[in-house]
Amino acid sequence: MKGARITAIGSYVPSRRLTNTDLEQMVDTNDEWIVQRTGIRERRISRADEYTSDLCAAAVQDLMKRYGKSVQDVDMVLVATSTPDFSFPSVAAIVQNRLGIPLTSGAIDMSAACAGFVYALHTAHALVSSGLHHKVLVIGADALSKITDYTDRSTSILFGDGAGAVLVESGGDKDHFLGGNLGSDGSGAQHVYRTGLADKVNGVELAATGMLVQNGREVFKWAVRTVPQGVQQVLQNAGAELAEVDWFIPHSANLRMIEPICERLNYPFEQALYSLEYFGNTSAASIPLALDLGIREGKVQNGQRILLYGFGAGLTHAGQLVSLSLDPQVGAPTPY
């Protein structure tokens, strides 16, 4: 096995803000309820002509500018998303062409909802550490505003748009991916979905509105139960202790879920990083956005151990402990 590491990161959010006050004009809700129950203050919303592939391209442009990186030698593009521009072709193929990535590169979308970025990271690590690939572009991106029902107060207050991208490259002898854990439980498929061809799962009739539908309570209970167990499994697989984890980055679904997850783990809440306060729940983008926020704010440093944990529709979950070893930055991040 060869080593692998994350060498560069970039991210992007659209410029249009949707605040809690804006939402008060759209549905029967209020800023106090939203902040108390979720911790979310604002979300970013794509333009009508701006799609997931556009968010991906902008995140990679940020990465290239900051780290002086080229994508000319990328040999695999993995895009984790639940809101692809089309069922097919893939966002990954569109991004490959847009960014001038070689025609010999593989390109594939991965569907694991809010756990998608960590699933894609796991795959990139497997591809690079096996020696099959050398430079894998991993993007988590979602334009959830395109499938959010802005008449439904239980979902419209949660979701936003964004993208985060990283490069996974050979890391010499040392593997910076210290351990991971994957899981799924399709018996909960009906709790968060958007229908496609079928309108029934597990014998349950689904609402074929073309919009995202969520039973928030059920997903909440499942995640608060499942994520702490998953984190312990990551640590066991990595042979690491929780006390060695410098930053914990759970999926930014809701601040009121991150608190009990930290409590159950007995992990200091101050060392949890999240992107939900000003970006909402951005699904596959939420973890790379939180990581990049931590880097942009100077909190997250090379050499630190970071535990990422995604969870969501499927129901799926995925965790990874990494030791950060980014290349030096040569340019400033593009402001959000």
Annotated catalytic residues are 114, 251, 281
DSSP 73-94: T--EEEEE-SS-SSSSS-HHHH
40 contacts 30 by C-beta, under 8 angstroms: no
Interface positions, 279-298, toward ligand UT7 (CB under 6 A): 281, 283
Which residue's CB atom is positioned nearest to ligand UT7? Answer: 216
Would you put residue 57 in left (φ > 0), alpha (ψ -120 to 50) or beta?
alpha
The pattern of x and - marking residues 168 through 207 that bind ligand UT7 according to CB under 6 A reads: ------------------------x---------------
Q: Which is nearer to ligand UT7, 179 or 314 (CB)?
A: 314
**Backbone φ, ψ for residue 130 (5° rounding):** -80, -15
CB of 145 to ligand UT7, least distance (A): 14
**CA atoms of 276 and 293, how far apart (whole Å):** 11
Dig out the tokens for 326 from the structure: 């980014």
Question: Residue 117's closest CA among 9, 243, 33?
Answer: 9
**Which run of H or of E encompasses 40?**
none
CB of 107 to ligand UT7, least distance (A): 25
The pattern of x and - marking residues 12 through 41 that bind ligand UT7 according to CB under 6 A reads: -----------------x---x---xx---
Q: Which is nearer to ligand UT7, 29 or 61 (CB)?
A: 29
**CA atoms of 49 and 308, how far apart (whole Å):** 32
Interface positions, 43-102, toward ligand UT7 (CB under 6 A): none
DSSP classification of residue 197: S
Q: Which is nearer to ligand UT7, 167 or 227 (CB)?
A: 227
Binding site for ligand UT7 (CB under 6 A): 29, 33, 37-38, 114, 153-154, 157, 192, 216-217, 219-220, 223, 253-254, 257, 281, 283, 312
